[in-house]
Amino acid sequence: MPSVAALLAAGGASRYTGATHKLLAPLGGSTVWATALEAVVAAGFDHVVVVTGAVPLTLPDGRHPTVIFRHNPRWADGQAGSLQVAVAAASDLGADRVTVGLADQPGVGTASWRDVAGAPDDCRIAVAVYGGRVGPTPVRLHRSVWPLLPVEGDAGARHVIADHPSWVCRVPCVGSGADIDTVEDLDRWNDC
């Protein structure tokens, strides 16, 4: 079975008031989304699905053989649609699980992607835990939970996780699951 990761990068960034979309904002010597992409690509997945929406994204280095773009035409309806696009892509690729993360979380490093993806096979859902707190990402979802994921709205897998705690494996990770929603969030990351 191929290993598949999905990087959700479709949202409208409604709380971000900077000069550009937050995913294209400068972070260190890169951009927010390229930092997240670099971490997931370095984790060694067979395929990395980037789900786009509000803003067109191009690979920072022009191309990468494992990266596949999928557009969510209903990106404005919330995260559930992007998650459905990711799950459909994983299914099309023949995967029985997908490890999902968000493109606005630069503190999720390569080790977190690897550790969550490498959780025991009997875990239907594997979640990253940073300093005792659940992620929110990355999260690995087995094919058996895909039909339970929301199809609309701005929720990802959190309700499935809450409703089925016996299916969840908590994976201790280094880094941070904090996301960038505002200019002030970005400033804090750039000050690190």
Do residues 77 and 36 make contact, with C-beta atoms less than 8 angstroms apart?
A: no
Q: What's the confidence (pLDDT) of residue 192?
A: 63
Identify the helix (H) or strand (E) that includes residue 101.
strand 97-102
Q: What's the confidence (pLDDT) of residue 93?
A: 97
What is the sign, positive or negative, of the torsion defined by CA atoms of 95, 100, 103, 107? negative
Dist. CA 174–CA 172, nearest whole Å: 7
Q: What's the confidence (pLDDT) of residue 63?
A: 65
Q: Is the peptide bond before 26 cis (omega within 30 degrees of 0)?
A: no
Task: Please enumerate in sequence order all residues whose Cβ is within 8 A of that of 88, keeping only pairs 6 or more positions apart, or say none.
Answer: 70
Annotated domain spans of the chain: 4-191
What is the sign, positive or negative, of the torsion defined by CA atoms of 84, 92, 171, 184? negative
Question: Residue 12: helix, strand or coil by DSSP?
Answer: coil
Q: What's the confidence (pLDDT) of residue 181?
A: 85
Task: Please enumerate in sequence order all residues whose Cβ is within 8 A of that of 144, keeping only pairs 6 or more positions apart, or say none.
Answer: 124
Which residue in the block uniquely carries the two structure tokens 């940073």? 130
pTM for this prediction: 0.94
Do residues 173 and 101 make contact, with C-beta atoms less than 8 angstroms apart?
A: no
Question: Along the 192 residues of the chain, how does pLDDT read in single tens digits?
Answer: 999 999 999 988 777 777 888 899 889 889 999 999 999 999 999 999 999 999 999 887 766 778 999 999 999 999 999 999 999 999 999 999 999 999 999 999 999 999 999 999 999 999 999 999 988 899 999 999 999 999 998 888 999 999 999 999 999 999 999 888 878 887 887 776
Q: Does domain 4-191 have CATH number 3.40.1380.10?
A: no
